């Protein structure tokens, strides 16, 4: 055991931990749930701390040795060597101060160890005076929120791009596959399966473009705002310098927030971003459900598509194959839609100079991004890539559809066409048979007028 001190007194810790007194107090005081910040968030925090040390050194505020030791400790965290040293619950103080201090204590203790001093001695590096120099939890925590979110969105966009490419390939594969369209879940005029899938692609392209448009705001960082946005205890060039360092370390073009007061008190950029994630979830839900319905059967459903048989679908019904990838994706979408409420309410809690729902905002945003990223990749690999059209069933549906009658309206009028469709349905006839029996037109006239492939686009 070892003893450390903070402003409230001494705390006992085990020798095997790198954290200090404030982290230990948080472990005792916030034993709430099992949610922990993702390791991506912790690594992004370490990167920001490294950038801060480099910026303080460049501005003449930190000696060489201090900056080197902080950077070395941060590099070890970024390499995953201390992932078990960040145990705090998401459900803590709303500014994220305890997690900020967790980073400060681990970095200080590890830096002191590298310099030959004992853990907890803080002989050379101090968590507040050195690792937290020029920072407040109120600006460094939201900075990390934006850094890790930008990184996660860039990854999400890559996965989304792959999904769009896969759907576009399906569009090309199915461009000549005629099928019956549906509106209100009822038969409608013909389209091609390729046209149907082109709508899926367009929906996802819309979401991709919206996410891209959100990135510039996400890439504005709060550092330099200090405690309330005024920049107290920081160098005049601090904000610009540290953001330049973060940009260099990440390879992403971050900029200082234009209004530091807003950057601390409000999180509109992340609320807006999650709204766009919600739009993506809405599109994915529709796409997955359509594919699930078109795959229904194989004998007693629509049976228009065949999805890959990845695993047995039932513990009691042999040979059953279920649309499990669609089910997983739609469950993720439902979770993201629920998260939208959480982020929206949390974003509204900017009382005076500080929003104090920061931990739940970033936890929820990252959960939504991570779930969407994984679910899209799984759906693309295990469903869309091996999906096939049941061409025979699709053709049979087209030939039976009464909505081909729409092509008759210009020739015999709406009322007569409706009469033919109702007669065909009542008598269980084909549309052609009904028109001939009602003597509405000759066989040749019907065949010339009703060509499903001439119903796929405007024509004179």
pLDDT at 5: 87
Closest residue by Cα to residue 145 from 235, 37, 71 = 37
Distance from the first to the final alpha carbon of the chain: 87
pTM of the predicted protein model: 0.96
Cα separation, 29 vs 97, whole angstroms: 14
Q: Binding site: residue ranges?
A: 95-97, 126-129, 136-138, 183, 315, 320-322
pLDDT at 263: 98
Annotated active-site residue in 57, 198, 207, 314:
314
Active site residue 314: yes
User: φ and ψ at 251, to 5 degrees?
Assistant: 75, 15
Tokens 């469903």, located at residue = 383
Tokens 């006839």, located at residue = 429
Cα separation, 317 vs 391, whole angstroms: 27
Active site residue 368: no
Average pLDDT, the chain: 96
| Pair type for strands 220-221 and 255-256 | parallel
Annotated active-site residue in 7, 28, 184, 459:
184
pLDDT at 459: 80
Give me the average pLDDT of each 10-residue run along the chain (460 residues): 90 95 97 98 98 98 98 98 98 98 98 95 95 98 98 98 98 97 96 98 98 98 98 97 98 98 98 98 98 96 95 89 96 98 97 97 98 98 97 95 93 95 95 95 94 89
pLDDT at 241: 98
Three-class DSSP category at 371: helix
Alpha-carbon Rg for the chain, nearest whole angstrom, is 30
Segment 39-93, tens digit of pLDDT: 999 999 999 999 999 999 999 999 999 999 999 999 999 999 999 999 999 999 9
* Residue 437: cis peptide before it, omega within 30 degrees of 0: no
Which domains can be identified in the chain, with CATH numbers? 2-133 (1.10.275.10), 139-241+250-392 (1.20.200.10), 402-454 (1.10.40.30)
pLDDT at 460: 73
Please name the helix (run of DSSP H) or strand (run of DSSP E) that holds residue 379, with its range, or none: helix 358-382
Q: Binding site for substrate: residue ranges?
A: 95-97, 126-129, 136-138, 183, 315, 320-322
Please name the helix (run of DSSP H) or strand (run of DSSP E) that holds residue 24, with its range, or none: helix 21-29
């Amino acid at each position: 055991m070892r003893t450390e001190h903070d402003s409230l007194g001494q705390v006992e810790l085990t020798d095997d931990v790198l954290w200090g007194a404030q982290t230990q107090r948080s472990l005792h005081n916030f034993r709430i749930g099992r949610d922990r910040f993702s390791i991506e968030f912790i690594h992004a925090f370490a990167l920001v701390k490294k950038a801060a040390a480099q910026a303080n050194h460049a501005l003449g505020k930190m000696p060489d040795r201090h900056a080197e030791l902080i950077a070395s400790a941060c590099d070890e965290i970024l390499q995953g060597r201390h992932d078990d040293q960040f145990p705090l619950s998401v459900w803590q103080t709303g500014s994220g101060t305890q997690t900020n201090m967790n980073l400060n204590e681990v970095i200080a203790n590890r830096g002191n160890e590298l310099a030959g001093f004992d853990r907890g001695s803080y002989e050379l590096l101090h968590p507040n005076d050195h690792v937290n120099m020029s920072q407040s939890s109120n600006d460094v925590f939201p900075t990390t929120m934006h850094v890790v979110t930008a990184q996660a969105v860039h990854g999400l966009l890559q996965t989304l791009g792959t999904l769009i490419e896969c759907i576009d390939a399906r569009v090309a594969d199915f461009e000549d596959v005629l099928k019956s369209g549906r509106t209100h879940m009822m038969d409608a005029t013909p389209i091609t399966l390729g046209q149907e899938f082109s709508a899926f692609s367009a929906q996802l392209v819309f979401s991709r473009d919206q996410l891209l448009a959100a990135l510039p705001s996400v890439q504005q960082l709060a550092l330099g705002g200090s405690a309330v946005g005024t920049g107290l205890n920081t160098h005049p060039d601090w904000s610009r310098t540290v953001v330049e360092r973060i940009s260099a370390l990440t390879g992403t073009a971050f900029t200082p927030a234009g209004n530091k007061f807003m950057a601390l008190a409000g999180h509109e950029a992340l609320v807006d971003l999650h709204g766009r994630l919600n739009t993506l979830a809405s599109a994915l839900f529709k796409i997955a459900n359509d594919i699930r319905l078109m795959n229904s059967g194989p004998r007693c459903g629509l049976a228009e598509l065949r999805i890959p048989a990845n695993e047995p679908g039932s513990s009691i019904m042999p040979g059953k194959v279920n649309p499990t990838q669609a089910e997983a994706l739609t469950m993720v979408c439902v979770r993201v839609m629920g998260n939208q409420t959480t982020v929206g309410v949390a974003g509204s809690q900017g009382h005076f100079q500080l929003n104090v729902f920061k931990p739940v905002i970033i936890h929820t945003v990252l959960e939504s991004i991570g779930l969407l990223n994984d679910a899209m990749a799984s759906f693309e690999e295990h469903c869309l890539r091996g999906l096939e059209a049941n061409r025979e069933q699709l053709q049979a549906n087209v030939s039976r559809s009464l909505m081909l009658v729409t092509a008759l309206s210009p020739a015999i009028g709406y009322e007569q066409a409706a009469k033919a469709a109702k007669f065909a349905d009542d008598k269980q006839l084909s549309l052609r048979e009904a028109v001939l029996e009602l003597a509405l037109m000759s066989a040749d006239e019907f065949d010339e007028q009703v060509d499903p492939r001439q119903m796929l686009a405007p024509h004179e």
